[in-house]
Amino acid sequence: MAGVGPSVIIAVRHGESEANLAYRRAGDTPLVYERGDDEVTLTEQGRAQAAALGRLLAALPAGEAPELVWCSPYVRALDTWRIARATWGIHPLPVTVDERLRDQEMGEFARYNPAAVRQRFPGEPERREAEGAWAYRPPGGESLADVVARLRDLLAGLPRRADGRPVLIVAHDSVVLGLRHVIAGGPDAELAAVLEFAPVLNASVSVWRTGGGRFELVRFNDVGHLGP
């Protein structure tokens, strides 16, 4: 049986990661990051952001607080949920670690900041511009359209699993952008429009609630819980 979809979807980007910090500090200086994308950990600031997320979850009223969790398999997402849950103080919730929630795969660009990509892969920025940011695939990597395809598959299975309960998704910026497109139900020809809502900020919260048989966007990319 199809089941009932989630009553609420709360999608969170992980807290600030060591790679986020390293790339920001490097600026326009080429940088090669030493860890694989799935191994990147949180910074001290990222751990504080995850704790703030936990306090936000603890303050949610009954019926909106998550009862099920789906999480990316990447360390920075798993650690964000682990810290948030500990701060929330909730008993363990059912957690599904799902490969479809991994970050957009960057292929040969995986350990390079944008300056290093420009240096090592001449011509690729021009190809990205020509193809469109949503359709462009780095060599050996994924496009945002590819991310959307796996998210559409994941969301199609949620009714069977969620059974009318609130769901928390802890993942990445590309995933949150992709979810906005998939939940809105627009054709992929309109996928480029979702890039207007980038960047999705670290530890930001986006919320959809069921209304009238479809999901209504309540807020997107909200970081009010992180303070000034």
Query: At which residue do the structure tokens 């193809």 appear?
Result: 131
pLDDT for residue 92: 83
pLDDT for residue 106: 96
Q: What is the pLDDT of residues 19-46, one digit of tens each?
A: 999 999 999 999 999 888 999 999 999 9
pLDDT for residue 87: 97
d(CA 65, CA 44): 26
- pTM of the entire predicted model: 0.96
Q: Is the pLDDT assigned to residue 212 strictly greater than 70?
A: no
CB atoms within 10 A of CB 71: 21
CB atoms within 10 A of CB 78: 18
Q: What is the mean pLDDT of the chain?
A: 94
The string of DSSP letters for 109-142 reads GTTB-HHHHHHHSTTHHHHHHHH-TTT---TTS-
Banded model confidence at residue 1, pLDDT cuts 50, 70, 90: very low
Taking each helix axis from N to C end, the angle separating 75-88 and 44-58, rounded to the nearest 10 degrees, works out to: 50
pLDDT for residue 2: 57
Q: Is the pLDDT assigned to residue 170 strictly greater than 60?
A: yes
